[in-house]
Structure 1
């Protein structure tokens, strides 16, 4: 196996070789993700169901506390921690490829103390990015609308869609959200499944993920758009579709990682 030996801040770290991939690899990863979902529907449905239920809870909390402007940032930003939420799916895909048992009890079977600590660090990183996104979204709203809260849902939607400041909020909000999404993609696409797959520390996993993104920026940004599009489709019926979309994406991400990083 080709490797790259580096020494960073006193760490003697061997990074796996990164492959260059194309759009065909994205299609193949999605197909394998769907195959895993169909082969293990009872397990992945249970894991994936957590996501839409949490999304519905966030939506209800938002309406109940009259912070309607934060509904979209909460729903969109919640997807930023998706790579961490899919840890069990990565393990199930790994076990199925290796011909091992894939019952629900095995979803976290290989996560020892070392892996749990590394995953905790990665989860903290994603949580910090999530909070930063919410702060940025709230700051953008205050800059355009001040601190006043909308009176009604329909009035707020009408203002967003028919006024210059509403259009500015849509455009700028999506640009800021895109920047945060690219950051999460670069940091977590390889790092989280890599910690599940190998005994590596969080920093090494993040370095490898960033290296994979640097080598395949266009392809991985395209993957980000695929993920965003599927999440939107899954979110439209009150987040219920995420119970299917999230498991498929979780499994597909595992297969994409295996195509990016040498065994």
Structure 2
């Protein structure tokens, strides 16, 4: 993995000496390398993205069929929140490429076994965040629109009223807060837990330190992730066949540039 120059030193914070400084140029490089990895992997990355595109379609139509369309938007937001976990196999594909060895789809899907306990713990934490987000969506709908049924037709009918606009704006702000929290704590922590036998707390701390040290590049990276994944979701999730793998591969290169390897024993 290519490493960015200028690790921070002399800080009292643990692990701070392993955090590299990056620039805006690095961010565009990550995206280019993510695309290169996607092309290099052949059908494997496309199939990986296709599995999650199919899952998104199944969940969307399933919720509509069950009569719970009001959960579709929160679930799409939840999909974005657990994105770092979903991309775990893509990190493994990029790592295999860097090491010059082949990797198949099954190996990628089983990548969590590299650090089972802490990766599963991270997954449970992210699922808890999604559950809180979904529950808050329902509660806030009831608060802002107390006399409306929780249906798409009802929401659309109220969307241009003051209550509907207030609800939408509040949900956007709240969703951005949830997304920022997940981004800050997970932007390098999941790739790190795959690559090293590190615990979830240390990995999350290093992720936070990486964002704090590189606010402008990481803000740009967050916006790119939202834009690319959002565009992938719009055409009935089909764009995720490309969008999710490219962002996943690029995230691996972001980790490589941001975090120095552990010191040799």
Task: Give TM class, smaller chain.
Answer: 0.7 to 0.9
CA deviations over 1:187-228 (Å, ceiling 9, x no partner): 111110001111211111111111112112332222221111
1: CA distance, partners of 2:111 / 2:61? 36
**Aligned ranges 1:187-198 → 2 under 5 Å:** 187-198=185-196
**SS of corresponding position for 2:22:** coil
2: CA distance, partners of 1:5 / 1:124? 35
- The TM-score, its normalising length taken from structure 1, stands at 0.88
Note if contact 2:187-2:207 (Cα within 8 Å) is conserved in structure 1: yes
**C-alpha spacing 1:77/1:98, structure 2 compared with 1 (3 Å):** same
2: CA distance, partners of 1:138 / 1:116? 33
Shift of 1:3: 8.3
Shift of 1:156: 3.0
How many pairs are equivalent? 256
Aligned partner of 1:54 in structure 2 is 55
Aligned partner of 1:250 in structure 2 is 248
- Further displaced range: 182-191 or 57-66: 57-66
**SS of corresponding position for 2:82:** helix
Aligned partner of 2:139 in structure 1 is 139
Match of 1:233 among 221, 224, 231: 231
1: CA distance, partners of 2:134 / 2:71? 8
Note if contact 1:191-1:206 (Cα within 8 Å) is conserved in structure 2: yes
**C-alpha spacing 1:230/1:14, structure 2 compared with 1 (3 Å):** closer
**SS of corresponding position for 1:107:** helix
CA deviations over 1:210-252 (Å, ceiling 9, x no partner): 1112112332222221111112211111111111110111001
Which of the two has greater strand per residue?
1
Shift of 1:108: 5.9
Note if contact 1:3-1:17 (Cα within 8 Å) is conserved in structure 2: yes
- The TM-score, its normalising length taken from structure 2, stands at 0.87
Note if contact 2:24-2:216 (Cα within 8 Å) is conserved in structure 1: no
2: CA distance, partners of 1:7 / 1:108? 38
2: CA distance, partners of 1:106 / 1:227? 25
Shift of 1:71: 1.6
| 1:181 paired to 2:182 | no
| 1:159 paired to 2:158 | yes
Shift of 1:48: 1.1
**C-alpha spacing 1:80/1:166, structure 2 compared with 1 (3 Å):** same
- Further displaced range: 85-94 or 19-28: 19-28
1: CA distance, partners of 2:19 / 2:227? 26
Q: Which sections of structure 1, spanning at least 5 residues, go unmatched?
A: none
Note if contact 2:155-2:164 (Cα within 8 Å) is conserved in structure 1: no
CA deviations over 1:65-122 (Å, ceiling 9, x no partner): 3332222111121211111111111011011112222333442677656x11110111
| 1:73 paired to 2:74 | yes
2: CA distance, partners of 1:75 / 1:199? 31
**C-alpha spacing 1:172/1:14, structure 2 compared with 1 (3 Å):** closer
